Structure 1
Amino acid sequence: MAQTLIRTETDARGVARLTLTRRDKHNALSAEMMTELQAAAAALARARDVRVVVLAAEGRSFCAGGDLRWMQAQRDMDTATRRIESARIAQVLGALAALPQPLIGRIHGNAFGGGVGLAAVCDVAIGAAGAKMGLTETRLGLIPANIGPYVVARMGAARAREVFMSSRIFDAEEAVRLNLLARVVAPEALDDAIEAEVAPYLSCAPGAVADAKRLLGDIAGRVSEADVAHAVDALAARWETEEAAEGVSAFFDKRSPRWAG
């Protein structure tokens, strides 16, 4: 399948850059984009010449979350079909989380919803000062379900409680405190910071790095298939509510939902 919404490049050192290129839509995750991301992750996992993966994006935003047109189309699906379709984000995050190589996130701009999920599955994510983040689903009458297991695994339950339900927007500095970002640097220093994160791996044995990452997952615990399935079911149920219909409709009508103060 031709990649049109992402780009994958690998340099002579074995550093792969996986870039979201849907800049005109703030890299919102459409069905096509998620299909490409999952396929790219699978290919990178098999690539023996790839030692480190950098997850990046073009344009003003890192990732605006799930594409709202894609989400709107789910309203007209039956429950079973909607469950399959909405699970795409969880599948993409699972594929990225399972990469044997270290995954370094270059969070240069705003990340909302699914964009926070992408940052959460990185082994290390570095943000640019000025970037905003947020789990904004409840504003639409939805819940951060499919990304939830990965976000909570990254943040921990206590930190997640601060932002998981409120749709509150927070800055990159707070994202460090919330454990979503490792650190924040000036935008002009971001590439140097990413390079400094990548460089140590190039002096390590690639197989040992992969085994160490696998062992870390064994010790710390991975997101389970049961957790992911539960989250997918929770979102499918939420789609059946009047609030979900109202929230998504209000967004496209460019008006406030009934519950907004």
Structure 2
Amino acid sequence: MKLPDATTLLLERNDDVLHITLNRPESRNAMNLIMLEELRALLAAAGKDRSLRAIVLRGAGGHFCAGGDIKDMATARRDDQAGQARINRSFGRLLEEAAAQPQVLISVLEGAVLGGGLGLASVSDIGICLANCRFGLPETSLGVIPAQIAPFVVRRIGLTHTRRLALTAARFDGIEALHLGLVHFSEPDVPALEQRLASSIGQVLRCAPQANRRTKALLLASSEQPLEDVLDQAADLFAEAVTGKEAAEGTLAFVQKRKPGWAP
């Protein structure tokens, strides 16, 4: 599938893995409206590609994302409140869509991971950071609020920690991010970061593609729907999976002591 063109993103596809790099290094990859819309369009197109199994999201120039573009925020003040709300809500839709992305979403975090950047990190399936990253929710120190970001951070690290971080605009490093559960791995240097990324991709590719898609959908539903509804849905998904081609190949490969066809 052909992916849409982008002026603020760098794209590289390696077989079943799509690498997306936020590319506004002059602003530490702060997200403007163009980047927001380009990223939403790209994720939507990628979600329809059933041959794509993982998406790696990172930033250019030694930073992940310093949050929203302050210049865009200043321009938005000229709009009425309804216009400002529409702009703000569009970022929340990006986070919703990224959280529900059918592929495994891996965030690779360096340098600044602030505001909206922290929001993006919060919706990834696998988070890998450098220990010297600088995380934070600085919105209240600018006189605004982390409106679309806060619910996703609460889901990631819990209400108690989010309250402290949002109400103090405190900065913290990758080691604390690991302790909070915001990321899964904190690495001391770039070579270790890249090695962890390669290892994580390898682990993802050992899993059956459609089984991963169904499992991710089930896990997301489990946090939003009543338990009985989730279990009913899970039974249907299991029946669909166990009678499908992947289960047949997976069990045969196990018996024959070989890798299944989808594994590298």
- TM-score interval for Structure 1 and Structure 2 normalised by the shorter chain: 0.7 to 0.9
1:160·1:178 contact (CA, 8 Å) conserved in 2? no
Other structure's SS at 2:36 match: helix
CA apart distance, 1:135? 0.2
Q: Which runs of 5 or more structure 1 residues have no equivalent in the other structure?
A: 223-261
Aligned to 1:100: 102
What is the aligned-residue identity percentage? Answer: 36
Report the AA paired with residue 136 of structure 2. Answer: G
Report the AA paired with residue 120 of structure 2. Answer: L
Aligned to 1:205: 208
Tell me the distance in 2 between the aligned counterparts of 1:163 and 1:174: 12
Aligned to 2:222: 219
**Which stretches of structure 1, 4 residues or more, deviate above 3 A after TM superposition?**
none
CA apart distance, 1:132? 0.7
CA apart distance, 1:195? 1.0
1:17·1:54 contact (CA, 8 Å) conserved in 2? yes
Deviation string, structure 1 residues 187-231 (Cα, Å, up to 9, x no partner):
221111011111112122100000000111111238xxxxxxxxx
Report the AA paired with residue 58 of structure 2. Answer: A
Report the AA paired with residue 90 of structure 1. Answer: G
Deviation string, structure 1 residues 104-162 (Cα, Å, up to 9, x no partner):
11002211100100100101111012111000000111111111111111111122122
Report the AA paired with residue 196 of structure 1. Answer: S
Tell me the distance in 2 between the aligned counterparts of 1:155 and 1:183: 15
- Correspondences of 1:62-73 after superposition (within 5 Å): 62-73=64-75
* 1:132 aligned residue (131, 134, 137): 134
* 1:121 aligned residue (120, 123, 128): 123
Report the AA paired with residue 142 of structure 2. Answer: L
RMSD, aligned α-carbons: 1.2
Aligned to 1:90: 92
Tell me the distance in 2 between the aligned counterparts of 1:71 and 1:114: 13
Report the AA paired with residue 182 of structure 1. Answer: H
State whether structure 2 residue 59 is matched by structure 1 residue 57: yes
Tell me the distance in 2 between the aligned counterparts of 1:89 and 1:147: 8
CA apart distance, 1:38? 0.4
Aligned length: 221
* 1:9 aligned residue (12, 18, 32): 12
Tell me the distance in 2 between the aligned counterparts of 1:187 and 1:77: 43
Between 120-129 and 213-222, report the one with greater CA deviation. Answer: 213-222
- TM-score between the two structures when normalised by the length of structure 2: 0.81
Q: Which runs of 5 or more structure 2 residues have no equivalent in the other structure?
A: 226-264
Report the AA paired with residue 12 of structure 2. Answer: E
Which structure is richer in relative contact order (CA contacts within 8 A, separation 6 or more)? 1
State whether structure 2 residue 184 is matched by structure 1 residue 196: no
Tell me the distance in 2 between the aligned counterparts of 1:8 and 1:44: 12
- TM-score between the two structures when normalised by the length of structure 1: 0.82
1:51·1:202 contact (CA, 8 Å) conserved in 2? yes
